[in-house]
Structure 1
């Protein structure tokens, strides 16, 4: 029995023609458990990676949102002028005397003697007119004057005879008074006739159009054969005449500088078309009132022009005395236009915006000269957004390039 059992439990011999032997079941189960653990580990790693990515992405979004919520601004510290110097303002050259020349007599233009650009002397003939109506009226007036003179002679001799008769009491006093009245009337008629003849002769003298002053002809508006109407109401000017030496320059001085100018001060005039050349004049007249619409003071400068290089009507730059005290300069792109008036946005020590009401002394184009409203230590925001409001919290960006700073100038230059 024992031998049989041992024989039945013995492992049969392996046939060499059979395939490889399969591993035992417990080995396969162990391998499956290992594979399952690996898959679960990979799933756990993937889940952990997803969670970490989501957390990092959320943190990045929050950080970016916080950064975007911050308002970055660029600031500049006002520059300070040193005061004094000159303020350059636009001006207009005008002839010292300018006048359109109208005709005083009605007629036809017979001839003109000067054209534009001609320099004429006072009393020089500019044109001749043909006035047949005035000539006829003058001839008639002279004839009437001769008739009146003849009547006066007869009345005078008659009065003298009646006076002699009255002395002999041959005529009444009434008759003598009548002869005296007739004589007086004829005297008055002769005076009226003489005045009429003188008027027509003076009117006829206007057939010769002459220059009322020495100057240069700037316009000629008529030609030979034109019908000329007397007066300046609806008629056109025959010529325009201007005296070019000396010249007058009219300047509108801002109210902030009105107290800095006086009669007799020297000024310098320059013209862009004449680079490097300066002309010196004096302030001769100052308006006694500020112009309300422009808040400026009109100043008149007399400018010698012996060589004729400057021409009436030209646009020039006039350097007049500037303010005696220093002011602050800020870039022009820092200005805010609000309904309450001009404002500058200033950042305080806590990073909050404060809108300051300012008074602009002068607009210099790329910069503004501030009379009041800010201090030299204020941080002024440049290029502020239109939506910026008082109390907003901002962050100052890194310092800009030096060119962003307003450059102080010894003499402020006004824009044209």
Structure 2
């Protein structure tokens, strides 16, 4: 074996050991780098998990109630006066002169009734009155004669007193007969059915030849005075204190969708109805054109002064917590505070409250039922809130 071969044999193990050491160092470096990366990823994952566990919420700020608020309530339009006319005496309708829609004046004859029996009763009463007058004249003369005879003691005092009493009784009988004649004459005046006031005929339920009388269940005519109309509205109890006499309101009717009519509060019932918890309000409106028809439905628009201390929040910001209605607010530190609320009025999408969140608070929309005081939440950016509001 030559010297060169011996040197090669000695050098080979040394080179292998160096390559092995280098490979080990590379492996250690790769392992250390992997462990570092894995540790970093674990920390990032832990932090992301922690951040993901914090609820993300959208918030709104309570708004003050309006200085003037409008409420719209259903109202019933009625004529200023309304007369349901019936027959005062029994008889047959001879004719009628006015149909529905006709304008009449006070005293106009609407229809005429024939009552033959009443005419006979009047004639009989007149005859009885004449008879009573004749008997009175005779009783008067007899009483004078017996009084003269008593002065000469030709008759007894008892007989004279009897004649005087008979005379007084005949006077009373004459007065009764006269009253009966006047009563029947008064009844004959009802044979003409007249309008009690100026207005319009709104109903005619009679025809020629019909038998009518005091016992008829249906009125003959209905006459309405519509130069002004009354409007009756039930105002909820919450607004009752704001309704004052002489305040104005606007009326909107289905037959005139582009026109508003003005009405004025005349009076109120001064009592809250138990069945509806509302105050009955009577308004009056001038009706010179006759456009406001009795029986119409009207939307009554009241403009009332706003109530102080009232705030408005979305209905989605209210939830049930601690056996009461509440709202959740977010403080500057991102922590939740649960505040009980008192609802003044439910407007549907919006709630009016008198206690709970203040004007500067941030109210959580759609709060989770699991939220509690001190929980940390994250508020979405204002742009996201605006988009959510736009979608709603």
Q: TM-score, normalising length from structure 2? A: 0.73
Give a deviation string over 1:260-316, Cα, whole Å, max 9, x none. 232222333332432332322322212222223333222222211111121112122
Alignment partner of 2:154 out of 161, 166, 170: 170
Cα distance in 1, alignment partners of residues 227 and 115 from structure 2 = 35
8 A contact 1:110–1:127 mirrored in 2:
yes
Give a deviation string over 1:204-258, Cα, whole Å, max 9, x none. 2211111111111112222222221305xx6111122211111111222233332
8 A contact 1:257–1:323 mirrored in 2:
no
Secondary structure, in 3 states, of the residue corresponding to 1:246? strand
8 A contact 1:76–1:405 mirrored in 2:
no
Q: 1:190 to 1:298 in 2, by over 3 A?
A: same
Q: Does 2:180 align with 1:192?
A: no
The offset of 1:374, in angstroms, is: 4.8
1:13 paired residue number? none
C-alpha RMSD of matched pairs (Å)? 3.8
Q: 1:152 to 1:275 in 2, by over 3 A?
A: same
Alignment partner of 2:139 out of 133, 151, 155: 155
8 A contact 1:115–1:217 mirrored in 2:
yes
Alignment partner of 1:213 out of 181, 197, 200: 197
Secondary structure, in 3 states, of the residue corresponding to 1:278? strand
1:283 paired residue number? 265
1:314 paired residue number? 296
2:312 paired residue number? 329
8 A contact 1:268–1:278 mirrored in 2:
yes
Matches within 5 A, 1:34-45: none
The offset of 1:170, in angstroms, is: 2.0
2:33 paired residue number? none
Q: 1:199 to 1:126 in 2, by over 3 A?
A: same
Matches within 5 A, 1:354-365: 354=338, 356-361=340-345, 363-364=346-347
Cα distance in 1, alignment partners of residues 304 and 105 from structure 2 = 40
Deviates most, 281-290 or 236-245: 281-290
Matches within 5 A, 1:5-404: 76-231=60-215, 235-326=217-308, 327-331=310-314, 343=325, 345-346=327-328, 349=331, 354=338, 356-361=340-345, 363-364=346-347, 366-372=349-355, 374-377=357-360, 388=369, 391=372, 398-399=384-385, 401=387, 403=389
Secondary structure, in 3 states, of the residue corresponding to 2:134? helix
Q: 1:167 to 1:243 in 2, by over 3 A?
A: same
The offset of 1:70, in angstroms, is: 9.3
Q: 1:170 to 1:294 in 2, by over 3 A?
A: same
Secondary structure, in 3 states, of the residue corresponding to 1:300? strand
Q: 1:264 to 1:148 in 2, by over 3 A?
A: same
8 A contact 2:339–2:357 mirrored in 1:
no
Q: 1:175 to 1:316 in 2, by over 3 A?
A: same
2:28 paired residue number? none
1:47 paired residue number? none
8 A contact 2:341–2:356 mirrored in 1:
yes
Cα distance in 1, alignment partners of residues 192 and 367 from structure 2 = 69
Secondary structure, in 3 states, of the residue corresponding to 2:165? helix
Cα distance in 2, alignment partners of residues 358 and 210 from structure 1 = 60
8 A contact 1:159–1:179 mirrored in 2:
yes
Secondary structure, in 3 states, of the residue corresponding to 2:231? strand
Q: TM-score, normalising length from structure 1? A: 0.69
Structure 1's unaligned 5+ residue stretches are 1-58, 407-416
Q: 1:230 to 1:126 in 2, by over 3 A?
A: same
